[in-house]
């Protein structure tokens, strides 16, 4: 897939309303690809697409966020793609589990859009 020169963010959430919200928040700075679960995301990535950063929910059908993080961190292609978990799970147990699996950051819904944008900018800058 041809990139337009801007960063490309993959957002994964099974709630259409959350995908539309994230597209609105990020569209001015990034190209946004929206997918509804971890399986769709893995298929898209293994079709040759490497996003500059992933924003992923945890509770999704088919392949959930935990399994998705594990699979991309075990991959030889995607192990270093920055990943932010954006979840309604508020417990520190879930946050620690994600960080141990290799997530770079974790935000709890409801979130401050500017905080998400800044965290994305920082992670992309660090990787760049």
Partner 1 sequence: MADRVYDLIQLEELSGGDQDFINMMVDTFLEHTPGQLEELIKAQASNDMVTFGAISHKIKPNIDMFGIKKIIQDIRDLEQLGKAGQNNSELQTKLANVKAELTIAFEQLRQR
Q: How far apart are CA 63 and CA 46, in angstroms?
A: 15
Q: Using CB under 8 A, which of 21, 99, 107, 124 touches partner 1?
A: 21
Q: Based on CB atoms, which residue is closest to partner 1, 89 or 105?
A: 89
Place of tokens 């979130």: 111
Q: Using CB under 8 A, which of 2, 17, 93, 125 touches partner 1?
A: 17
Handedness of CA 19, 13, 106, 124 (dihedral sign): negative
What's the min distance (Å) between Cβ of 25 and partner 1? 6
Based on the shown chain and the rule CB under 8 A, indicate whether residue 117 belongs to the binding site for partner 1.
no
- Would you tell me how many other CB atoms lie within 10 Å of the CB of residue 23? 15
Q: How far apart are CA 25 and CA 78, in angstroms?
A: 25
Could you tell me which stretch among 21-29, 43-51, 68-76, 97-105 binds partner 1 (CB under 8 A)?
21-29
Q: Using CB under 8 A, which of 6, 50, 113, 127 touches partner 1?
A: 113
Q: How far apart are CA 78 and CA 110, in angstroms?
A: 28
Based on the shown chain and the rule CB under 8 A, indicate whether residue 20 belongs to the binding site for partner 1.
yes
What's the min distance (Å) between Cβ of 49 and partner 1? 25
8 Å CB contact between 44 and 34: no
Q: How far apart are CA 120 and CA 105, in angstroms?
A: 9
Binding site for partner 1 (CB under 8 A): 14-18, 20-21, 24-25, 59, 88-89, 109-110, 113
């Amino acid at each position: 897939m041809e990139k337009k020169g801007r960063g490309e963010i993959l957002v994964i959430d099974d709630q259409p309303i959350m995908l539309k919200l994230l597209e609105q928040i990020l569209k001015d700075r990034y190209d946004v690809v929206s997918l509804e679960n971890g399986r769709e995301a893995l298929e898209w990535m293994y079709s040759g697409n490497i996003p500059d950063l992933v924003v992923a929910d945890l509770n999704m059908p088919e392949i959930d966020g935990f399994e998705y993080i594990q699979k991309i961190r075990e991959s030889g292609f995607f192990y270093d793609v920055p990943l932010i978990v954006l979840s309604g799970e508020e417990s520190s147990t879930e946050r620690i589990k994600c960080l141990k699996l290799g997530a770079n950051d974790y935000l709890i819904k409801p979130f401050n859009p500017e905080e998400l944008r800044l965290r994305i900018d920082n992670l992309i800058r660090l990787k760049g």
